[in-house]
């Protein structure tokens, strides 16, 4: 190759993820699930077809200088599925298998997630086709800023237009770079911090955003484990305590889900990752395992009487004995070839699209399984992103205006109770009662309420239409989007 020529580097080159053999693409999986629910909705075909398609798609390509002095070509995407509510909302993922159909499918899923959770956003998604594991921080920063500049130039980002968030391969650091780049182009926009969510707290982020998706997974499964019809169908006992849980994926979502399940009494018996998996029927110390993983990037060598699976067999962790299975990694992990081997009675989809239509049908045909769909279970991230967006627009931290007033009011009430009852409370009890809500307390409470409402709406629709929870969740969301679009009227008549 000629010196200085532009080339796609090995770590940037697209590696298409074709999914399991014989299974449709991710976008086609989404459309299959959508069509199943749409057929029950009673809405006109024209309305249903319009809600299935992405309204705007951007493909960008740019060149960056690499660490060796050469030049690499990078491809990125941003898809806006629905503009029935503004801004659009959806994460940006950095992954070597990113392609246009994946981004379109994720954008569509975001529209219905937001509608189901009553978050007033349209759906969007972005992706850059790189492997961040093989790149330096300076390379990632250059790519993030180039990508953001392209979004700015085409009006695909802004507090009232399109608000990205973290996704696979990105985090608070990348969101901070996006915010800074946007602000360089919009120096007089007082709301510019709201152009992106998932930022560090010191850069306008919100406390509780990091763990939001994993916490939402916990809240959703907790709710389903208290529904009588779910318990009757699966034979599971009520509540989270004592449940055995396997989690596939130990990134941000998987780790926090494992953290909260262990905190509230469940037993995490298995964890899987791309390069291996670990299983112990007596339970795994989640925090110790996470520290081991962060240090070594492998489960091998973790102390205890554990069973280890190699990278080639890592996905088999899905088939190990447990009561609750949480796929929190890639799409299409449960499919026609392994669905009949799944032993869990409750499958909580923390990842986007982890189950194919064929896998879904096999699990449901068993008659004793319940699947909590991704569009319901992983709305925690976008819900708390909504709270962050509101915080940025309001320019004030949640709890700042009323925390001390709340504490003083509670203190006065306790003093009155002690005076009337002549029974003084201990200082420990006083502190527990008097303490006002912090920003994290408010975020957790808002997320809990959102998940409870979304789960109950899904549950009610499943009963009303005598269908599974995925179709029910889609039905609830489809009707909300259709209602919003219909009430907007028509600019043109034909």
How confident is the model at residue 17, as a pLDDT?
47
- Average pLDDT (314-320) is 95
How confident is the model at residue 49, as a pLDDT?
87
**CA 397 to CA 207: how far, in whole Å?**
10
- Average pLDDT (279-297) is 95
Instruction: Please give the model's pTM, rounded to 2 decimal places.
Output: 0.88
Q: Which residue has the tokens 């006002």?
A: 436
CB 353 within 8 A of CB 26: yes
Decide if pLDDT at 264 tops 60. yes
Percent over 70 (pLDDT), the chain: 95
Decide if pLDDT at 486 tops 90. no
CATH class of 56-203: alpha beta
- Average pLDDT (440-462) is 95
The 10s digit of each residue's pLDDT in 72-124 is 899 999 999 988 888 999 999 999 989 999 999 999 999 999 999 999 999 99
- Average pLDDT (412-433) is 78
Enter the CATH code of domain 207-399+437-488.
Answer: 3.40.50.720
Decide if pLDDT at 430 tops 80. no
How confident is the model at residue 408, as a pLDDT?
82
First vs last Cα of the chain: how many Å apart? 57
**CA 198 to CA 213: how far, in whole Å?**
11
When comparing pLDDT for 408 and 375, which is higher? Answer: 375
Identical fold at 56-203 and 207-399+437-488? Answer: yes
Q: Which of 31, 113, 125, 480 is catalytic?
A: 125
Decide if pLDDT at 262 tops 90. yes
Which pLDDT band holds residue 489 (cuts at 50, 70, 90)?
low
Which pLDDT band holds residue 431 (cuts at 50, 70, 90)?
confident
The 10s digit of each residue's pLDDT in 19-69 is 677 788 888 898 999 999 999 999 988 888 888 889 999 999 999 887 778
When comparing pLDDT for 70 and 326, which is higher? Answer: 326
Decide if pLDDT at 437 tops 90. no
- Average pLDDT (193-217) is 95
- Average pLDDT (280-308) is 94
Q: Which segment of 127-136, 245-254, 291-300, 398-407 scores lowest on mean pLDDT?
A: 398-407
Which pLDDT band holds residue 342 (cuts at 50, 70, 90)?
very high
Decide if pLDDT at 5 tops 70. no
How confident is the model at residue 412, as a pLDDT?
84
User: Three-state SS across 84-124?
Assistant: CCCCEEEEEEECCCCCHHHHHHHHHHHHHHHHHCCCCCEEE
How confident is the model at residue 340, as a pLDDT?
95
- Average pLDDT (337-350) is 96
The 10s digit of each residue's pLDDT in 128-141 is 999 998 889 999 99
- Average pLDDT (347-363) is 95
Question: From residue 103, how far is each of 80, 263, 349, 363, 462 by CA, in Å?
Answer: 9, 34, 19, 27, 28
Decide if pLDDT at 6 tops 60. no
Percent over 90 (pLDDT), the chain: 72
Which pLDDT band holds residue 490 (cuts at 50, 70, 90)?
low
| Residue-averaged pLDDT of the chain | 90
Active site residue 199: no
What are the boundaries of each domain within the chain? Answer: 56-203, 207-399+437-488
Q: Which segment of 119-133, 256-270, 304-318, 400-414 scores lowest on mean pLDDT?
A: 400-414
């Amino acid at each position: 190759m000629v010196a200085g020529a532009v080339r796609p580097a090995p770590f940037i080159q697209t590696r298409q993820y074709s999914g399991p053999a014989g299974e449709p693409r991710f976008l086609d999986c989404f459309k299959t699930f959508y069509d199943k629910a749409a057929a029950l909705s009673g809405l006109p075909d024209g309305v249903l077809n319009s809600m299935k398609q992405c309204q705007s798609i951007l493909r960008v390509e740019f060149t960056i200088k690499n660490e060796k002095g050469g030049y690499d070509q990078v491809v990125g995407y941003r898809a806006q599925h629905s503009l029935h509510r503004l801004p659009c909302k959806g994460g940006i993922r950095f992954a070597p298998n990113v392609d246009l159909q994946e981004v379109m499918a994720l954008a569509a899923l975001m529209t219905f997630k937001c509608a189901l959770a009553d978050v007033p956003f349209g759906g969007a998604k972005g992706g850059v086709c790189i492997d961040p594991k093989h790149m330096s921080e300076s390379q990632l920063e250059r790519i993030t800023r180039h990508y953001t500049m392209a979004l700015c130039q085409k009006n695909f980002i802004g507090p009232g237009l399109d608000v990205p968030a973290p996704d696979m391969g990105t985090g608070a650091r990348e969101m901070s770079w996006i915010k800074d780049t946007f602000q360089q182009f919009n120096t007089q926009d007082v709301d510019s911090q709201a152009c992106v969510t998932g930022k560090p707290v010191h850069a306008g982020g919100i406390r509780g955003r990091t763990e939001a998706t994993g916490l939402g997974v916990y809240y959703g499964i907790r709710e389903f484990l208290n529904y009588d019809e779910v318990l009757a169908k699966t034979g599971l006992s009520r509540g989270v305590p004592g449940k055995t849980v396997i989690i596939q994926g130990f990134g941000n979502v998987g780790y926090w889900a494992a953290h909260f399940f262990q905190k509230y009494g469940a037993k995490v018996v298995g964890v899987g990752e791309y390069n291996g998996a670990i299983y112990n029927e007596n339970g795994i110390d989640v925090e110790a395992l996470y520290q081991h993983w962060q240090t070594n990037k492998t489960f091998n060598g973790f102390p205890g009487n554990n069973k280890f699976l190699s990278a080639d067999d890592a996905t088999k962790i899905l088939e190990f004995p447990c009561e609750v299975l949480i796929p929190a990694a890639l799409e299409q992990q449960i499919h026609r070839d392994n669905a009949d081997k799944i032993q869990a009675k409750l499958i909580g989809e923390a990842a986007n699209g982890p189950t194919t239509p064929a896998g879904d049908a096999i699990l449901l045909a068993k008659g004793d399984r319940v699947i909590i769909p991704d569009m319901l279970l992983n709305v925690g991230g976008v819900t708390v992103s909504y709270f962050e967006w509101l915080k940025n627009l309001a320019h004030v931290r949640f709890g700042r205006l009323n925390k001390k007033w709340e504490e003083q009011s509670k203190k006065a009430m306790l003093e009155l109770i002690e005076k009337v009852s002549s029974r003084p409370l201990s200082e420990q009890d006083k502190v527990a009662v008097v303490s006002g809500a912090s920003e994290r307390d408010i975020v957790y409470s808002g997320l809990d309420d959102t998940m409870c409402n979304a789960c109950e709406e899904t549950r009610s629709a499943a009963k009303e239409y005598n269908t599974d929870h995925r179709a029910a969740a889609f039905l609830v969301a489809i009707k909300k989007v259709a209602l919003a679009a219909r009430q907007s009227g028509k600019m043109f008549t034909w």
